[in-house]
Amino acid sequence: MAIRINDIAPDFTADSTAGTIHFHDWLGDSYGIIFSHPRDFTPVCTTEFAAVAQLAPEWAKRKTKVIGVSVDASPTTASGSAISKRSAVPPPTSRSSTTRR
């Protein structure tokens, strides 16, 4: 299934660092950006999460929510929670991969 920019992605349910999310409910009327990274706890991945989290006010101005998708199991995504606490951004990190809009 090909998903392109501005397509509505299929709904999914996933465990995340913010609890269980139902993607379409979590997204609401916002635009969504989903990005993935290969492994938790690598310098590049941590830097990417932090950079995205620091832009939270800009995402909010644009009515956009961002979710990071990890290939690692949820327990190792604690680094995302730590980054979230430092930047006051709750980015749910799930193991699913799809986008909306």
Q: What is the pLDDT of residues 59-69, one digit of tens each?
A: 999 999 988 87
Q: How many domains does the chain have?
A: 1
Q: Strand pairing of 19-22 and 31-37?
A: unpaired
**CATH at residue 43:** 3.40.30.10
Contacts (Cβ under 8 Å, ≥6 apart) of 7: 99, 100, 101
Where in the sequence is the domain holding 34, given as residue range(s)? 13-94
Q: Is residue 31, in this structure, part of any structural domain at all?
A: yes
Q: Is residue 101, in this structure, part of any structural domain at all?
A: no
Cα separation of the two ends of the chain? 15
Which pLDDT value is given to residue 61? 96
Query: What is the average pLDDT value for the chain, to the nearest integer?
Result: 73
**8: Cα within 13 Å, side-chain hemisphere:** 6
Q: Is residue 5, in this structure, part of any structural domain at all?
A: no
Q: Is residue 76, in this structure, part of any structural domain at all?
A: yes
pLDDT tens per residue, range 21-61: 999 999 999 998 888 777 666 777 778 888 888 999 999 99
Contacts (Cβ under 8 Å, ≥6 apart) of 26: 65, 67, 92
pTM over 0.85: no
Percent of the chain with pLDDT over 90: 24
Q: Is residue 80, in this structure, part of any structural domain at all?
A: yes
Q: Is residue 46, in this structure, part of any structural domain at all?
A: yes
